[in-house]
Amino acid sequence: MKRIMIIDDAAFMRALLKDYLSSLGHEIVAEGSNGREAIQLYKRYKPDLVTMDITMPEMDGISALKEIMKFDPLANIIMCSAMGQQQMVLDSIRAGAKDFLVKPFNNERIVEAVDRVLLSRYN
C-alpha cells in the first residue's frame, strides 16, 4: 500500500481518483484544490505519489510541481491534464513530473502510470 496525495480543483475528479486508487489498496493521505495547498500538504505528509491537475486557481500545477521538486527532488508526481494540453504536459515532464494522465481518466492508464512511477522509484 502506497500513500497518495490527490490535487485537483474539481472535487468530483478528486473523488473519482480517490475511489479508484483506494480500491487498488492505496491510502489517500491528503487532498487539495490548488498548487499552494499541494506544496503545503506535500511538506506535511511526504506521500509516495502525487496526482496533480495542471490547470488550477491560485497556483497552477506546473508551478507547484517545480516548488515540490525543489523541496524533494525524488518526489513522484503524475500530472493530469485535459485533452489538447500537450505543451503543458511537455513542460511538466521537463520540470520533473514522472508521468501524466489525460482526462477523462482511463482506469487502465491510471494503474499503468501509478505502477510504473512507484516501481521505478525502487529500482
* CATH number for position 37: 3.40.50.2300
Assigned domain for 70 exists: yes
Domain contains 82: no
Phi/psi of residue 10, nearest 5 degrees: -95, 115
Q: Give a yes or no: residue 43 inside a domain.
A: yes
- Stated pTM of the model: 0.93
Does the residue 90 lie in any domain?
A: no
Is 15 domain-assigned? yes
For the chain of 123 residues, list the mean pLDDT of each consecutive stretch of 10.
Answer: 96 96 97 98 98 94 97 96 79 94 92 92 47
Planar angle of CA 34, 89, 19, nearest 5 degrees: 55
On whether residue 89 sits in a domain, the answer given is: no
Q: What is the pLDDT of residue 123?
A: 39
pLDDT tens across 34-56, in order? Answer: 999 999 999 999 999 999 999 99
Number of domains composing the chain = 1
pLDDT attached to residue 80: 94
pLDDT confidence of residue 84: 67
Residue 81 in any domain: the answer is no
- Per-residue pLDDT at 27: 98
Domain membership flag for residue 14: yes
Domain that holds residue 5: 1-48+61-74
> Which grid coordinates belong to 70?
525543489
